[in-house]
Structure 1
C-alpha cells in the first residue's frame, strides 16, 4: 500500500551518513550513535504533571556520525528533511553556546551545552527517518542521539537517568519547549518488545512486556504538522500548574477526583478545572492500561484508549478536527479495540489497537473516508539510544 511508511533501517542510515560524511569532509567518521522515535500508548500531557506515562519506541531513528576536527568549531550537515542543511557554531570549549537559526540546530546545541564536559570542535552528519512534526518525538531522538554521540566521542559515560534529564534541559534551554521527561526517557531507555511505564515523579521505570498476540499497534499519521514551540503547549502546562497551586500541591500527581469540587469552590477558571480533570483521570487510565497489558486484557486497553482521546479532545483541547475525524472513522472498523491521538497534539498521529488480519481493511477504510492524506506504520518496538561500530 503506497500510504505505508517503512523505516529506512539502521544499516542504510549508517551507510548514508558515512557516504555524506566522506563527501563533505574528505575522511571517514570515527564515531556513530543513534536514538529512536517513540509513540506514547497512553498518558498524554501527564509527564510535566509528575504522573505516569506508557510510551514505546518505534522502528524509526536519528543517527549521527562524526569525528573531532582539531578546531573550535562544530560543523554539522543535517539530512533531516528533503534537502541537506548545514550549520557551524563554536564548540562549548570556545565560548557559551546560544540559541539561534536554523531551528533544528538548537536541539544539537542544547545537547552540547548540557553535556557534562566541554566539547571540542567536531564535524558530523545527522540523518533521520523519524517523521518531523508528527508527535513521534523527532526532537528527543535528535537530542539523545547527539548526546550519545558525544559520550562516544569524548569517552565520558553518563548515567541513563541523568542523560535523559540533561537532554530534557537541553530542550527547555535552547528550542524553548517546556517538555516533560517522557520523550527523553523512553528514547534513552526503551527496550524491544516492551512498553516503559514511567513514574515522572520518582523517575522509576518498569518494563511492561508488550505481548499483543493477534493484535498490533497501528500508527496512523494525520500528516497535520504541529509546532510545540508555540503558545498552546506552554499554556496547557501553566494551567495544570495553576490547578496544583490552588490545591496547595507541587503538581497534579497528588490530586484526586474530589479535588475538582474544591477547585470549583475556589472559583477556579473553568479551563483550569478541565485540564485538571483530564490529568487526574489520565493518570488513572495509564496505570490501568499497564495492569491490563500484564493480564492480557486488551479489550480493557482499547476502551481506555477511546476514553483518553475523548478527554484529550474535550477537556485538554489538544486534539484537532483531523485527529478527531480519524478516531471516529477507526472506531467503527472491524477488529478495532481502541484508538487515541498520541503526542503533544494539534496534529500528528493516532495509535490504534487492531487485529493484525484487519490492518489492511482498516487502512482501506481510512483512505476512503479520511479527508486528509494519511500514512501508516505498524509499531515494531526498538531498543533505545546506542552506539554503532564503524
Structure 2
C-alpha cells in the first residue's frame, strides 16, 4: 500500500500556532511517500538516505524513524497494540527547509496505519496523533499547524486555523497572475530547535507577567506592562495575528499586492521582534525588496526557506543573478521552485 502526505507552506501567521493564535498554511505539491506492509519486526527504510533500521521493540532511535515510532505509540494509546510493519519512505520534499517534512512523515504514517488496520480514526484525530508524537516523543514543543495542514488541506485553498479553538476553515486561494515560490537558503543553523523552545518559554513567561492564561486575553494595552524580550515577543504575536486576518480579507477582495506588503512586514517582525531570522535569509529578502510582490522567512527559523509571492515572471527575471551573488558570498547554491497547493494526506492509487 502506498500513501503520501504533503509538506506545507505557512502563508502567514508564524510562531503564533503555539500561542493560541491564527495561522494560514496550505499544503504544497511536495510529498513524503510511504509504502507499508506487515512484517515480523518494525522496520524503517529510507530510500533517500539508504538507511535501514530494525526494531523488535519500539524505542527512541534519535533518527527520522522516531517520528513514525512516536505516531505508533500514540495510536496504541487509543486502540491497543499495533502489529509490526515495514515502513519504506521516499520523498521529494526538501528536508530542513522549513516545509515541515517532520509533520508530513507523522501524518502519512498515522494515515497509513489507520487505513490498513481499519481503525476509523478521523482525520482530525490523526492530526492530533502526529502533533502529540512530535511534542511528547520527539520533544519539539510545536503547535498544531503543521500536522493540521498536512492532514486537512485541499488543493487551491489555504487552511485558516484558529489554534485556540482548533476550528479551521478552507479559504479559496485565488492568486490570479501571481505565484508562490520557495527559495531554499541551504542553511539550517543548529540552534534552531533549542531556540524554538526558548521562544515558546519566553511567551509563556510573558503571559505569567501579565497574569493571563492565554494570548487570547492579551491586547495592545498589555504591551505597556512589558519591556525587553517579553515586549518584543508579545508584540510580534499580536501583530502577526492581525496580519493573518488582514490577509484573509485581502484574499477575498483580490488585493494581492497588499498581501505582499503583509509578507514583508511579517519578515521584519520575525527578524526584529521574534529574532528567528539569520544573515543568509536576510540577505535573500533584502535582494528581493522592490523586485517581487512579497517575501518572508517561513518555518521555525534560523535558516530554512523564503516564501516569495511574485507576479508573472518577476522572480524568474532576477533569481539567477541572486543565485550567483549568494554563491559568491556564502558558497551555497540556492535552490528555488514554484509551489502549487495540494490536497492533504491520501492513499495513492497505482
Length-normalised TM-score, structure 2: 0.94
SS of the residue 1:258 aligns to: helix
Q: How does 1:136-151 map to 2 (within 5 A)?
A: 136-151=99-114
- Distance in 1 between the 2:338 and 2:162 partners? 26
- Distance in 2 between the 1:164 and 1:323 partners? 30
Give the Å deviation of 1:256.
Answer: 1.1
1:124 maps to which of 80, 87, 93: 87
List gaps (5 residues or longer) in structure 2.
none
1:330 maps to which of 260, 278, 288: 288
- Distance in 2 between the 1:213 and 1:227 partners? 38
Give the Å deviation of 1:207.
Answer: 0.9
1:339 maps to which of 295, 298, 303: 295
Give the Å deviation of 1:228.
Answer: 7.3
Q: How does 1:154-169 map to 2 (within 5 A)?
A: 154-169=117-132
- Distance in 1 between the 2:250 and 2:295 partners? 16
2:137 maps to which of 169, 174, 177: 174
SS of the residue 2:147 aligns to: helix
Q: How does 1:260-279 map to 2 (within 5 A)?
A: 260-264=223-227, 270-279=228-237
SS of the residue 1:45 aligns to: coil
Give the Å deviation of 1:289.
Answer: 0.7
Q: How does 1:222-261 map to 2 (within 5 A)?
A: 222-226=185-189, 230-261=193-224
Match status 1:284 vs 2:254? no
Partner residue in 2 for 1:11: none
Partner residue in 2 for 1:10: none
List gaps (5 residues or longer) in structure 1.
1-30, 92-96, 265-269
- Distance in 2 between the 1:128 and 1:227 partners? 23
Partner residue in 2 for 1:77: 45
Partner residue in 2 for 1:321: 279
2:339 maps to which of 371, 374, 379: 379
Are the aligned partners of 1:253 and 1:280 in contact in 2 as well (CA < 8 Å)? no
Give the Å deviation of 1:364.
Answer: 2.2
Partner residue in 2 for 1:389: 349
Give the Å deviation of 1:122.
Answer: 1.4
Are the aligned partners of 1:177 and 1:229 in contact in 2 as well (CA < 8 Å)? no
Give the Å deviation of 1:138.
Answer: 0.4
Are the aligned partners of 1:50 and 1:201 in contact in 2 as well (CA < 8 Å)? yes
Aligned pair count reads: 343
- Distance in 2 between the 1:90 and 1:164 partners? 27
Partner residue in 1 for 2:257: 299
Are the aligned partners of 2:5 and 2:346 in contact in 1 as well (CA < 8 Å)? yes
- Distance in 1 between the 2:114 and 2:189 partners? 31
RMSD of Structure 2 on Structure 1 (CA) = 1.5
Give the Å deviation of 1:369.
Answer: 3.1
Give the Å deviation of 1:388.
Answer: 2.2
Are the aligned partners of 1:98 and 1:174 in contact in 2 as well (CA < 8 Å)? no
Match status 1:350 vs 2:306? yes
Partner residue in 2 for 1:24: none
Deviations 1:297-342 (A, max 9, x none): 1121111111100010011100000111111001132xx1111101
Length-normalised TM-score, structure 1: 0.85
Q: How does 1:12-91 map to 2 (within 5 A)?
A: 31-69=1-39, 71=40, 73-79=41-47, 81=48, 83-90=49-56
SS of the residue 2:303 aligns to: coil
- Distance in 1 between the 2:140 and 2:191 partners? 7
SS of the residue 2:308 aligns to: strand
